[in-house]
Each structure stands twice: as structure tokens, then as C-alpha cells.
Structure 1
């Protein structure tokens, strides 16, 4: 399957114009920055609070914007037209994801700065955030593909926001409700665990295992988004 950089760039520019015109979607970039300022802390729980801000941002910005951009295309029947063009599946999905990836990376960097989070292991932090952005973009793609309108897309992201953002906090009840142990394997919980381990100066498997689990999530969900896109293409 060929990948055309020109087609990807064209889709990226098109999405940027639509994003900049739709204030209901573009305003979402402000929420992670505001949360970073509100929850900024110099106390001992800095890693936990930073993880909350990042997990919230990934769901509320990355998944939400991606779902809305795709749903908007479907609502205006332009996604169907895009599927019928010579652009390959990879061209479309990479092009549709590029803008959200760039915006998420810039906003998360700004949130990290405003929050005041510092770490000696910048590589692990960048890797974890980059892989997480890919994961939540894929989740947003799935939500958008199965939404018929912007309103449906907005509502479809809320379960993602609740489960992935609040999942790590539900683990405090794990002793009373052992079934909650499954929440340990959520990517948001693993990101929180990674940040906490970095704060404690851990190394080796304690750092790499959370990153591996997040990567597995990203690969599996991305594959699912590709399969579902192809299925939608067949439906047309």
C-alpha cells in the first residue's frame, strides 16, 4: 500500500482549515492548559496530579478532536468522497491523524511547562506521551467512524473520558473490590505508574513495562481503527 506525502499534506491542510473555523472544537485546546494551571502543585503528589492532567488532556483533547473531525466529515458526506479518491487507506488515516497529533503534542508540552513538571528521564516521558497520543487518536478515530454527527461524536468520547481518566483513581478501592485490579492495565493507569516510578528514581523493568503495555494498547487499537475504516469503506 503506497503512501503519498502530498495527499497526506493536503488532508492535513484541509483539516487545519476546518479545525480553525470550528470554534466549538478548537476551544478544546484551552482546557488542558487551564487544568495544568489549576492542578499545579509543588507537593509530593506531583506525579499523580500530572498524570491526571495528561490523561484528562489525552481524552478530552486528542480523542475528542479526532472524533469530531471525522464525524464532521461524515455529517457532510465528505468522508465518503475522501474514501472514493485515489488516496490509500494509510493516506487518509495518517492525514486525518496528523493534525490532532501535532496539536496534542504542542498542547501537552505547554501543559507540562505550565504545570511545572520536571523529570531527569525526558526520553521516557516523551516516548510515553507520543505513544499515548497515537493511542487516543486511534480511539477518537473509532468514535468518529461510528458517529453520525458532531453531537454523537461528542457523547461517544465521554465514556473514554470517564473510564481512562478516572480508572487510576478507582484503584484505591482495589482491596475492597478485587475485580478492580483489571484497571491496573488501563493505559492511563500505566502512564500514572510510569510517572510515579520516574519520580521515585526507578529503572529497568519498572519503567519499561508500563511503556510496553501502553505500546500494546496503541498497536491493538490502531489496528482495530484500520479494520473498522476498511469495513466502512466496504459499506460504501
Structure 2
């Protein structure tokens, strides 16, 4: 797969301009910061509350923005032109993901600062957060490929935002409802499990299992997104 930094940069700048012009999308980046401020004012300084804000930032910012940017391309009928351009699959996916990854990094870091979360092991948490960003970008890409307009994108992404933002809250019910225990393996839940493990004496497996789970979700989602993308090229 040929990767061209020039093409990646061009796609990156194109997404930046579209993001800055579309206030309906760009203002969504402020929502997690507002929620983080509200949670901080409630005085509920627990790991669960910290990561409720962080997971919401991933869903509302990463998935939503990525989905809307791709949906806008389809709505303007420019995605097909991009697909038929000399840009490779890698150029397009990296270029369209890089901007959202940078925005996500800034918003998540600001959210963590606002809620006052100070992880015991910043290095491991930083790796887990970056892997989570990769997964949510893949999820946003997948959702965007199934939509035809920004309006559809706003609707299709709602279940994703609810499931992955509030999925960890279901962990409290897993002991009484076995079906809810499935939510334990969501990337958002595994991020919370990892953070809680790092606050106490933890083993290597306490770190490996959550990170491996997030990586597995990312790989599967990107593979499906790549398959759907190639199918869209020939439909």
C-alpha cells in the first residue's frame, strides 16, 4: 500500500476546513467539556465519574465528528471522487482520521484536566486512551459509510453514543443480570476496568486483558470499515 504524505496532508487540510465551516459539527466538541465541568461541580470524584466524561468525549467528539465528516463528503458527492482519485486506501483513511485524532487528543486531555483525574500510571492510561481513539475513529468511519447525509449521521450515531458512553454504568448491574455482563467487554468498560486496576496493586494480566480487548475491537472495526469502503468503490 503506497502512502503519500502530500495526499494525507491535503485530505487533512480539507477536513479541517470542513470542520471549521460546519458549526453544527464543531460545536459538539464543546459538549464533553461542559459535561466535565458539571460533573466536577457535583463533587463526585470517582473513577467511574471521571471515565463517564472521558468515554462521552470519545463518543460525542471522535465518533460523531468522524461520522459527520464522511457523511458530508457523501452528501456533497465528493467521497466518490476521492475514492476514484490516485489517493490510496491508506492515504484516505489516515488523512481523514488524523484530524479527528488530534481533536480527540485535545478534548480528552482537557476533559481529564477539568474533572481533575490524576492517573496512577499515566503511561499505561495514555496508551489505552490512544488505542480507544483509534477504535472510536474506526466506529465513526463505519457509521459514516452507512449514511448519506449529516442528518442521517446525527441519527445513526446516537445509539453508538448511548451504548459506549453509558455502557460502563451497566457493570454495576452485571452481578444481578447476566445479560448485562456483556457490557463488561465494551472498549469503554475495559478502559474503566483498567483505570480501576491501576489504582490498586495490579498484575500484568490486569493491564494486558483490557488493552488487548480494545485492540481487538479496533482491528475488527477497521477491517469491516475497510471492506465496506472497498465495496462502496464498485457499487
Q: TM-score range by the shorter chain?
A: over 0.9
Aligned partner of 1:156 in structure 2 is 156
The root-mean-square deviation of aligned C-alpha atoms, in Å, is: 1.5
TM-score, normalised to structure 2, is 0.96
Structure 2: distance between partners of 1:162 and 1:44: 21
In the TM superposition, what is the alpha-carbon distance from 1:162 to its structure 2 partner? Answer: 1.1
SS at match of 2:228: helix
Aligned partner of 1:194 in structure 2 is 194
Moved over 6 A (4+): 41-44
Structure 1: distance between partners of 2:128 and 2:195: 9
* 2:83 counterpart of 1:83: yes
Structure 2: distance between partners of 1:132 and 1:75: 28
The verdict on how the C-alpha distance between 1:44 and 1:150 changes in structure 2, with shifts beyond 3 A counting, is closer
User: Contact between 2:9 and 2:95, CA under 8 Å: does it hold in 1?
Assistant: yes
In the TM superposition, what is the alpha-carbon distance from 1:120 to its structure 2 partner? Answer: 2.8
Structure 1: distance between partners of 2:121 and 2:140: 29
Aligned partner of 1:131 in structure 2 is 131
In the TM superposition, what is the alpha-carbon distance from 1:41 to its structure 2 partner? Answer: 7.0
User: Contact between 1:47 and 1:199, CA under 8 Å: does it hold in 2?
Assistant: no
Aligned partner of 2:107 in structure 1 is 107
User: Contact between 2:67 and 2:140, CA under 8 Å: does it hold in 1?
Assistant: yes
Gaps of at least 5 residues in structure 2 are none
- Residue-by-residue CA offset, 1:193-236 (whole Å, 9 max, x unaligned): 1111112242421122111111111111111111111111121x
Structure 1: distance between partners of 2:101 and 2:201: 29
Structure 1: distance between partners of 2:28 and 2:224: 26
Number of positions where the alignment pairs a residue of Structure 1 with one of Structure 2: 235
In the TM superposition, what is the alpha-carbon distance from 1:113 to its structure 2 partner? Answer: 1.1
- Residue-by-residue CA offset, 1:55-101 (whole Å, 9 max, x unaligned): 11111110000000000000000001111100001111111111100
User: Contact between 2:197 and 2:206, CA under 8 Å: does it hold in 1?
Assistant: yes
Aligned partner of 1:50 in structure 2 is 50
User: Contact between 1:9 and 1:95, CA under 8 Å: does it hold in 2?
Assistant: yes
User: Contact between 2:190 and 2:213, CA under 8 Å: does it hold in 1?
Assistant: yes
